[in-house]
Structure 1
Amino acid sequence: MLFALSALLQLACLVSAQTVYLAGDSTMAKGGGGGGTDGWGVYLPQYLNIPVVNMAVGGTSARSYSESGLFNNLVNAVKAGDFVIIEFGHNDAHANPDNGKQDAVGDGYDITAVVTNAAGQQILIHSFAYYIENAINPMKAKGATVIISSVTPDNIWTGNTVGVGGRFVDYAQSIGRNESIIYVDHNAYVGQAYDNLGQTTVNTFYPNDHLHTSPAGANVVAQAFVRGLLCSKTSNLIPHVNSAGQAVPNGCL
Structure 2
Amino acid sequence: MRKIQLVLVALIVLILSAFKADHVITIYMIGDSTMSNKPLEGNNQERGWGHVLGSFFTEDVRVENHAMNGRSSKSFIDEGRWETVVNKIRPGDYVFIQFGHNDEKPQPERHTDPGTTFDENLRKFVRETRAKGGIPVLFNSIVRRNFGVNPDAVAADDIRPEKDEAVVEGDTLIDTHGKYLESPRNVAKEMDVCFIDLNQATKKLVESYGVEGSKKLFMWIPADTYAACPKGRQDNTHLNIYGARKVAALAAEAIQKQLPELGKYVRFYDYVVAKDGSGDFFSVQEAINAVPDFRKNKRTTILVRKGEYKERVIIPESKINISLIGEDGAVLTDDAYASKKNCFGEEMSTSGSSTVYIYAPDFYAENITFANTAGRVGQAVACFVDGDRAYFKNCRFLGNQDTLYTYGKDSRQYYEGCYIEGTVDFIFGWSTALFKDCTIHSVGNGYVTAPSTDKGKKYGYVFWNCRLTGADEAKEVYLSRPWRPYAQAVFIQCELGKHILPAGWNNWGKKSNESTVFYAEYQNKGEGADTSARVPYAKQLKDVSAYQPEEVLKGEDGWNPVANGNVLLSNLKR
TM-score computed with the length of structure 1 as normaliser: 0.76
Structure 2, unpaired ranges of 5+: 1-14, 149-169, 221-232, 271-300, 302-574
Greater fraction helix: 1
Which of the numbers 165, 187, 204 marks the counterpart of 2:199? 187
Which of the numbers 15, 25, 30 marks the counterpart of 1:23? 30
Output the CA distance in 2 between the equivalents of 1:235 and 1:128.
28
- Structure 1 residue 82 displacement after superposition: 0.6
Structure 1 residues 12 and 230, CA gap change in structure 2 (3 angstroms) = closer
- Structure 1 residue 185 displacement after superposition: 0.2
1:78 and 2:89 matched: yes
Output the CA distance in 2 between the equivalents of 1:240 and 1:189.
21
Structure 1 residues 191 and 185, CA gap change in structure 2 (3 angstroms) = same
Matches within 5 A, 1:83-122: 83-95=94-106, 98-103=107-112, 105-107=113-115, 111=116
Output the CA distance in 2 between the equivalents of 1:167 and 1:229.
24
User: What do the CA deviations read for 1:75-132 (whole angstroms, capped 9, x no partner)?
Assistant: 101100111101000000251xx430001x241xxx3xxxxxxxxxxxxxxx111112
User: Which residue of 1 is the match for residue 57 of structure 2?
Assistant: 48
User: What do the CA deviations read for 1:16-56 (whole angstroms, capped 9, x no partner)?
Assistant: 21111110111111128x96311111111111121111111
Output the CA distance in 1 between the equivalents of 2:261 and 2:187.
19
Residues matched between the structures, number: 214
CA contact (8 A) 1:189 1:227 kept: no
- Structure 1 residue 12 displacement after superposition: 8.6
- Structure 1 residue 160 displacement after superposition: 4.3
Matches within 5 A, 1:3-42: 13-14=21-22, 16-31=23-38, 36-42=45-51
Output the CA distance in 1 between the equivalents of 2:98 and 2:83.
16
Q: Quick check: 199-208 or 166-175, which moved more?
A: 199-208
Q: Quick check: 164-173 or 179-188, which moved more?
A: 164-173
Identical aligned residues as a percent = 22
Structure 1, unpaired ranges of 5+: 1-6, 112-126, 248-253
Output the CA distance in 2 between the equivalents of 1:195 and 1:85.
25
Matches within 5 A, 1:206-225: 206-207=219-220, 208=233, 209-225=235-251
User: What do the CA deviations read for 1:123-157 (whole angstroms, capped 9, x no partner)?
Assistant: xxxx1111121122121122111110010111112
CA contact (8 A) 2:56 2:252 kept: yes
CA contact (8 A) 1:31 1:37 kept: yes
CA contact (8 A) 2:257 2:263 kept: no
For CA contacts below 8 A with separation 6 or more, give which structure has more relative contact order: 1
CA contact (8 A) 1:189 1:228 kept: no
TM-score computed with the length of structure 2 as normaliser: 0.35
Structure 1 residues 43 and 106, CA gap change in structure 2 (3 angstroms) = closer
1:134 and 2:124 matched: yes
Output the CA distance in 1 between the equivalents of 2:172 and 2:201.
13
Q: Over alpha carbons, which structure has the higher Rg?
A: 2
RMSD: 2.5
Match of 1:84, SS? strand
- Structure 1 residue 227 displacement after superposition: 2.6
Greater fraction strand: 2
Structure 1 residues 25 and 76, CA gap change in structure 2 (3 angstroms) = same
1:145 and 2:135 matched: yes
Poorly superposed stretches of 4+, deviation over 4 Å:
158-161
